[in-house]
A = this chain, B = another copy of it.
Amino acid sequence: MRDRLADAMVSEAAFEGWSRAALQAVSRQLELPAGEGDRLFPDGAIGVLTYASERADQRTVEDMEKEGVANLKIRDRIKSAVRIRLERHAGNREGARRALALLSLPFNAPLAMRLLYRTVDAMWYAAGDTSTDFNFYTKRATLAGVYSSTLLYWLNDRSPGSEATWGFLDRRIDDVMKIEKLKSQVKSWTGGSVRTASRR
């Protein structure tokens, strides 16, 4: 039932925003008993948004596994991840735009950062990232930049099949690959990060 309510909310949010009014409207549409919407999501609309975002992350991971991205090059795995997330699991553009408006309020900053982090962490996980050193953070930070800018681009993209967005994504992924290249260059010395320095 949380899934159904979240799905309905994603559609309704295009009109009413991620608001209490929208949550009440979809609860009525689904003919839920009075108070059931509040019971399912005690944090209200922001709780539904959190749930919907994490479910979209999970579905993106499942789709990536289903489509065997493990056989692709890293650059294409990440490209697939962002495209799957936006094309299949971000809902309609207006609902997504309303979600960003809510997440842009200063008191929602910690949640916004957390959701963005979880999204890119899920993508790197499904892409088979196994880094255990500081590159772990560099990759996630870089992808957060790529994903969030691609998301903004997509919101306003009117091209057929959002082709302009995928072209934009392709250019942004170049940045991720620079990091990958850097990583392979520096592997030797990050491996030495825990060695004992001799006193000079």
**Residues in chain A within 8 A of chain B (CB atoms):** 14-15, 17, 94, 97-98, 100-101, 103-104, 112-113, 116-117, 132-138, 141-145, 148-149, 151-153, 155-156, 171-172, 175, 178-179, 182, 186, 189-190, 193-194, 196-197, 199
Contact = CB atoms under 8 A, between A and B. Distances in A.
Contacts of A197: 14-15, 94
A113 B112 CA distance: 14
Contacts of A138: 145, 148-149, 152
- Copy number in the complex reads 2
Contact of A193 (B100, B136, B137, B193): B100
A52 to B, nearest CB: 17
Which 8 pairs across A and B sit closest by C-beta, in order of nearness?
Answer: A142-B145, A141-B144, A138-B148, A101-B193, A141-B145, A100-B134, A94-B197, A156-B189
